[in-house]
Chain A
Amino acid sequence: MSPDLIVQQALNGISFGALLFILAAGLSLIFGMMDVVNLAHGAFYMLGAYVTLQVVRSTGEFWPALIVAPVALGLLGLALEPTLLRRLRGRHLDQVLLTIGVGLVIVDLIGLFWGREIRTLPLPPGLDRSIDIAGNAYPTYRLFVIVFAVALAAILTYVHRRTAVGALIRAGVDDAEMLSALGVDTDRLFAVTFAVGAGLAGLAGVIAAPAFALSPGMDVDALIYSLIVVVVGGLGTLGGAAVGAWLVGPADTFGKVLFPQFALALIFAIMAVVLLARPSGLFGRARIGR
């Protein structure tokens, strides 16, 4: 590979990793707080993408979707947590099974409502061009995805570290029972966490929609990638999602072009090695009292 090709592939990998970060952050957050691997996460992502399609169809604009889809998914999460997940609290495996069901229902409803044909969205105006990087045309939208993910990471980090909500989340991740004993309404905290996680999945769907095609099956791809990211990075921590995403994205990109025979095996191999060396992931922490 020539140097300018390496630069281009690195950008491809980083921008893919940026999308994976947005996707995995929500999954990681929900797991950290509620100990539930939300297998409906891929379906939430897909729904976010289809809401974007709807927004573009009705308004002709892409940008409102950045607000509409996360809010819509957040409301869905806010409704699902108390009505379904809360009833099975403490039964983690049952909750995981429940999320599989929720995911299947959402995907089928999407097919019913928007059809099962392949759909695409044009790149938003202003970001539909390419700019010159190292003598090669590179699409500005992919650069935007990197910038967006970095900004989102900064905002999430700030909320996580510096705000009261962040303190509650950190405390909940460490020991939800103790938090409850201290008088915090954990029911509300769990509902909000689930809503934020779902909203983040929706946001990833919005960002992905103009770049990739919308079709049945996109939920499964997204779920697998995000699971790998959080397992590598460490479940339940924001830093873990970031490190995992920016490791898996470029590894996937370079792996696919350099070792096509092992394209899919490579990221699973990374996952296996990380799990052997650090069973709780690179940034995962041993939990208290569980």
Chain B
Amino acid sequence: MSDMAGVKLSRRKLLIAGGATALAAACGGGTTTAPTATAAATSAATAAATAAPTLKIGMLLPFTKVYAELGNSMKRSTDLYLKQAGGKLAGRPVQVIYEDEANDAQISLQKTQKFIDQDQVDLMMGIVSTAIVYPLRNTIDAAKLVFIETNAGGNFLTREVPDCKPACKSKYIFRSSFSSWQISNPLGEYVSKKPDTKDFFICASNYGFGTESAADFVAGLKKNGGSETGRVLPPLGNTDFAPFVTQIKGQPTKNVFSFFSGTDAIGYIRAWNQLGLPAAGYKMFGAGFLTEQDVLKEVKEQAVGAITSLFWSTELDNAENKAFVEAFTKEYPGAQVDVFAVQAWDGMKMLDEALKKTGGNTKDKDALIAALEGVSFKSPRGDFSIDKSTHNPIHDMYIREVKVVGGKAVNSIVDKVGKVTDPGK
């Protein structure tokens, strides 16, 4: 066995060396190095045909600090996918190297460098926070490292942006999650079609994702003549929500677009109820994270009546979702199946589908990118495909309402906005 491992290792080293030479050749572009590159490519192809080298995935997810549970959920989903696939994708055994995002841009940069230099991963996945992926965009792009973003929804990551500030799309960057526009803009457009939900007060977490989503929502409202009547912006990670909810109570506008997630969402919804807003006729709307599984399991019926938009819900009635929810719940009893798990699952599925097309080859970046651009499959969220020009997913957006079904508060599907594509070019 150890001999076998030794052979494999040396082959991998050979491959890496070959890949590096090819890369150097591509960068240098000198005529003298061209034959070497061809030779390396040939030897790589031969090696791949004889013994499938390990596919190394660098997975950067938060396992500590505030987003730890999101990271755990995405790891569970990734591990489950690989378990079901027998530990192999397109015939190649898979090694996932997990590193902690730690909600810290500097640490995440170091971990990304480690993936590139030390682990020499075939591709990279993960990253929960937009604030972390934006500054990493250039590093990933410069290293020609194929990267599948499995959560962060910052619009700019998959758009053409002048001067690339704060980020912009890259040939090498794909997304299996969503762009924040895709969630909040369709909701704004949807609700403003009805006469009694045209005007909204805004209460959103004061950070990129929150204010960006609020702006996208208001832009959606304006398409049907709706408008914003005012706003309060609690800081991210706020402790006491009573002051903000009290401010809402002083507003004549009863419809409130509320952008919060995690602990903030829980604090907000609890304060909302304790201060008697439902009885006073106020109604909560928001991006789906407001009532996602991590929040809903704690606030339960207190969230009843909240209208949110998201590309998934546990209640979604399709075969893939049923199978996914069942498998996840069976593998991890006690853990919540949530949208983050779906995003990580679809990230693996994207990769799996693309590798099937390239025959497991990840060295030919252009072929891999073309294959990823062409993926289209049935996800637990419904039809999933990739927008070729932005590398952002195209998927349906569901309008959901928190209802008690069978004694349990769930995000019940009330309507659907079909095939939402980010307006990025």
Contacts and interface: CB of A to CB of B under 8 A. Distances in A.
* B206, B238, B270, B294 pick with most chain A CB within 10 angstroms: B270
Interface stretch (A72-80, A92-100, A166-174, A257-265): A257-265
A213 B298 contact: yes
A107 to B, nearest CB: 9
Nearest to B250: A5
Contacts of B249: 5, 8, 136
B276 A221 contact: no
Contacts of B96: none
A229 to B, nearest CB: 13
Interface in B200-255: 206, 232-235, 237-240, 242-244, 246-247, 249-250
Contact of A116 (B68, B237, B280, B298): B68
Interface string B268-309: 001000111001100000000000001100110000000000
A1 B237 contact: no
Interface string A121-136: 0010000001000001
Contacts of A215: 66, 262-263
A139 B274 contact: yes
B299 to A, nearest CB: 7
B68 A118 contact: no
A160 interface: no
B243 A13 contact: yes
Interface residues of B, number: 37
Interface string B54-73: 00000000001110110010
B110 to A, nearest CB: 20
A263 B235 contact: yes
Contacts of B243: 9, 12-13, 253-254, 256-257
B66 A12 contact: no
Contact of A8 (B66, B232, B246, B336): B246
Given A118-B262, A257-B247, A264-B235, A216 B65 contact: yes
A138 B246 CA distance: 10
Interface string A202-225: 000000000111011110010001
B240 A253 contact: yes
B69 A117 contact: yes
Contacts, number: 106
Contacts of A54: none
A12 B274 contact: no
B246 A12 contact: yes
Contacts of A212: 239-240, 267
A285 interface: no
A2 interface: yes
Nearest to B299: A120
A26 B237 CA distance: 24
Contacts of A139: 242, 274-275
A90 interface: no
Contacts of B239: 212, 218, 221, 225
B89 interface: no
A141 B274 CA distance: 9
B66 A216 contact: yes
Contacts of B275: 130, 136-139
B266 interface: yes
A1 B250 contact: yes
Contacts of A123: 274
A118 B242 contact: no
B296 to A, nearest CB: 11
B247 to A, nearest CB: 5
Interface in B170-219: 206
Contacts of A9: 243, 246-247
Given A16-B240, A130-B274, A118 B235 contact: no
Contact of B298 (A8, A15, A118, A225): A118
Nearest to B231: A260
Interface string A29-59: 0000000000000000000000000000000
A101 interface: no
Nearest to A222: B239
A130 B66 CA distance: 31
Contact of B279 (A111, A137, A260): A137
A118 B299 contact: no
Given A130-B275, A137-B276, A217-B66, A260 B232 contact: yes
A114 B297 CA distance: 16
Contacts of B263: 118, 213, 215, 217
Interface string A241-260: 00000000000111011001
A118 B246 CA distance: 24
Contact of B242 (A12, A111, A216, A225): A12
A136 B282 CA distance: 14
A1 B246 CA distance: 11
A214 to B, nearest CB: 9
Contact of B237 (A2, A117, A221): A221
A212 B267 CA distance: 6
Given A16-B240, A120-B299, 13 more contacts: A9-B246, A9-B247, A13-B243, A118-B263, A130-B274, A130-B275, A136-B275, A137-B279, A215-B263, A217-B263, A218-B239, A256-B244, A257-B243
Interface of A: 1-2, 5, 8-9, 12-13, 15-16, 111, 115-120, 123, 130, 136-139, 141-142, 211-213, 215-218, 221, 225, 252-254, 256-257, 260, 263-264
